[in-house]
Amino acid sequence: MDRVEVRNLEVTYGNRTVLAVDRVSFERGGFYGIVGPSGAGKSTLLRIMNLLERPVSGQLHLFGTEVDLTSLSYAKGLPLQRQMGFVAQKPSMFQASVYDNVALGLRYRKKSRMEMQALVEEALELVELSHVRDQRANTLSGGEAQRIALARTLVCDPSLLLLDEPTASLDPYNISIFERVIQTIHRQKQTTILMITHNLPQARRLAQTCLFVNNGRIVERSDTEAFFHRPRCTELADFISGRMIC
């Protein structure tokens, strides 16, 4: 079972069900775009998969490991989280140098100083920010900070990369670099990537398969060409065309 799979997932806030997924799977090495209106449950799905929230019910299968998400302890969840990387819409920088920000996860993993230095330098070169290595991270521009957040994630070599609207606030220059980096990682390492985006052209450029989430449910899923050119449901056709959907 060389894939990621979520089954019988239900997430509620108070008396409101915000996400209900019977079953969804993602093959290793796939690049998946996740689109849908605001508040549809897209970010909740990624946070559940990254073990940042606990659902009412649900099971996660991660590349051979099966867990019950409702009773997963921190100790048992940590090895799973270390197989994943998560980049949010707004980057959080620690009050330290760029180098120390990128190296943080490697320190937790007890990497040697020499190995850590080589990996950090490689990650900084990948995001084209080697020249700010010793700069305080909190002095970076928003686009630079997001690229450092990506480097901090990629330096740990995740098998599953979860991206929650990571380019929503970036200018075209930084978007082009960010996209180039994740395309390179996907191609070279066959990293499984799930990317939430409201930028439909971006989903068409990057993803092999797209999913449409609406009202807490995965309404449609298909290869990217069919998704945008031959949508099966009215809601997706309306969403792609910019019309209001229920």
Residue 46 lies in a domain: yes
Contact predicate 224/204, CB 8 Å: yes
Q: Please report whether residue 235 resides in a domain.
A: yes
Q: Indicate whether 137 belongs to any domain.
A: yes
Region of 200 please: left (phi>0), alpha (psi -120 to 50) or beta: alpha
CB 3 within 8 A of CB 167: no
Question: What CATH number is associated with residue 194?
Answer: 3.40.50.300
For residue 56, give the DSSP letter. Answer: S
Tens digits of pLDDT across the chain (246 residues): 689 999 999 999 988 999 999 999 999 999 999 999 999 999 999 999 999 999 999 999 999 999 999 999 888 899 999 999 999 998 889 889 999 999 999 999 999 999 999 999 999 999 999 999 999 999 999 999 999 999 999 999 999 999 999 999 999 999 999 999 999 999 999 999 999 999 999 999 999 999 999 999 999 999 999 999 999 999 999 899 887 676
Whether 246 is in a domain gets the answer: no
Other beta carbons within 10 angstroms of residue 46's beta carbon come to 23
User: What residue numbers bound the domain in which 57 lies?
Assistant: 3-241
Q: Dump the DSSP string for 163-179.
A: EESTTTT--HHHHHHHH
Coil, strand, or helix at residue 210? strand
178 within a domain of the structure (yes/no): yes
In angstroms, the CA 46 to CA 60 distance is 12
The answer to whether residue 105 is domain-embedded is yes
**Tokens describing residue 36:** 């849908």
Would 226 be classed as within a structural domain?
Answer: yes
Residue 81 forms part of a structural domain: yes
* CA-closest candidate to residue 245, choices 224, 225, 220, 221: 220
The number of folded domains in the chain is 1
